[in-house]
């Protein structure tokens, strides 16, 4: 199995380095990752502007672009690949995080290209003394041996979140429903002497947040959790809602594409 590994923390980040070290000797891997941190880049890619890609080690490529740029380059130049792993990210990607995460964005790009894709994140909240990347990488390898790629349906991304706690990360992997909470722009202050300008900082959501008991954001407190995220094309509505039909009928003469 030939695996592309990427991330949004940068090619030298400890999470992706720990993952590569753990996969070495058992899986054929290629690393293609950004030249610096690109957290929050989501599924953005570089359009109509040249960017550089260069080898920086054996099977390691550095990209002057986004995580999606990395996947595009890898599949276009270095492929084919049988699977994609994005991570191990510094920080969890739970609930609405997945809309903004470059880690998850890279995994989505892999899934769009028809291969199983995992986004892997380490929940470091409240654990700044030590980051258990090596232990998390060992868990990922364990789940790979157990066939986790075969458990991801086509059109889905496996979103793995692992607690940064040696008492919790060894627990069995559980299923968690995709949760519902968001980041907030807060700590806003007016720029002195400049009207209608603010200094804004994006921070983690304040506690408590809406974490229903069976969601990823709640279950991460008890052990590793897996959620499945649908590609947009697979999750789009097949039939318009009644409100949409009513609006089309009232304003557009009932225009609905023929089936």
The pLDDT, as a whole number, for residue 254 is 59
**What is the pLDDT, as a whole number, of residue 165?**
92
**pTM assigned to the model:** 0.88
Give pLDDT, residue 185: 52
The DSSP code for 192 is T
Confirm whether residue 97 is marked as ligand binding: no
246 is in an annotated binding site: no
Question: What does the radius of gyration of the chain's CA atoms come to, in whole angstroms?
Answer: 20
Residue 81: predicted pLDDT:
97
Q: What is the pLDDT of residue 232?
A: 65
Cα torsion angle, 191, 194, 196, 197, sign: negative
- Sign, CA dihedral 19-68-89-232, equals negative
In the predicted model, residues of the chain with pLDDT beneath 70 are 126-128, 182-191, 193, 203-211, 232-237, 254-259
DSSP string, 63-75: ESS-HHHHHHHII
pLDDT score for 245:
82
How many angstroms separate the CA atoms of 254 and 14, rounded?
A: 56
pLDDT at 259: 45
Question: Using an 8 Å Cβ cutoff, are 10 and 131 in contact?
Answer: no
pLDDT value for 163: 94
User: Which pLDDT score, from 0 to 100, does residue 256 have?
Assistant: 59
- How confident is the model at residue 208, as a pLDDT? 44
Is residue 86 marked as binding? no
Counting DSSP H helices and E strands in the chain, the numbers are 8, 11
- Asked if residues 84 and 3 have their Cβ atoms less than 8 Å apart, the reply is yes
Residues 2-181+210-251, CATH architecture:
3-Layer(aba) Sandwich (3.40)
Within 10 angstroms of residue 66's Cβ, the number of other Cβ atoms is 23
Query: 201: phi > 0 → left, psi -120 to 50 → alpha, else beta; which?
Result: beta
pLDDT at residue 199, as a whole number = 73
What lies within 8 Å, CB to CB, of 181 at 6+ separation is: 94, 95, 96, 205, 209, 210, 211, 217
Rounded-to-integer distance, Cα 102 and Cα 9, Å: 9
Q: What gap in Å lies between CA 97 and CA 42, rounded to an integer? A: 9
CA atoms within 13 A on the CB side of 116: 14
Give the Cβ contact number of residue 247 at 10 Å: 12
Residue-wise pLDDT tens digits, 215-256: 898 899 899 999 999 886 666 667 778 888 888 788 887 555
- pLDDT, residue 139, reads 97
Order across the sheet with 2-6: list the strands.
Answer: 53-57, 60-63, 28-34, 2-6, 83-90, 117-123, 156-163, 225-230, 174-175
Q: 129 among the known binding-site residues?
A: no
């Amino acid at each position: 199995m030939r695996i592309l590994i990427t991330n949004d923390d940068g090619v030298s980040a400890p999470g992706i380095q720990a993952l590569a070290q753990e996969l070495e000797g058992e899986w054929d891997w290629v690393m293609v990752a950004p030249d610096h941190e690109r957290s929050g880049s989501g599924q953005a890619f570089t359009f109509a502007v040249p960017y550089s890609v260069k080898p920086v080690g054996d099977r390691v490529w550095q990209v002057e672009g986004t995580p999606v740029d990395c996947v595009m380059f890898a599949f276009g130049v270095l492929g084919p690949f049988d699977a994609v792993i994005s991570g191990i990210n510094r920080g969890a990607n739970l609930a609405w995080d997945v809309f903004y995460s470059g880690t998850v964005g890279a995994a989505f790009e892999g899934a769009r290209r028809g291969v199983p894709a995992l986004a892997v994140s380490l929940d470091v909240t409240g654990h700044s003394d030590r980051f258990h990347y090596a232990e998390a990488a060992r868990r990922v390898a364990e789940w790979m041996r157990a066939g986790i790629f075969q458990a991801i349906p086509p059109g889905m991304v496996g979103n793995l979140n692992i607690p940064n706690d040696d008492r919790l990360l060894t627990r069995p992997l559980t299923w968690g429903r995709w949760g519902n909470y968001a980041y907030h722009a807060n700590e806003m202050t007016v720029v002195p002497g400049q009207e209608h300008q603010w200094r804004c900082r994006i921070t983690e959501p304040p506690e408590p947040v809406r974490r229903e008991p069976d969601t990823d954001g709640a279950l991460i407190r008890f052990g590793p959790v897996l959620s499945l995220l649908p590609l947009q094309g697979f999750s789009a509505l097949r039939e318009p809602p009644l409100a949409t039909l009513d609006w089309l009928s009232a304003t557009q003469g009932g225009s609905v594409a023929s089936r």
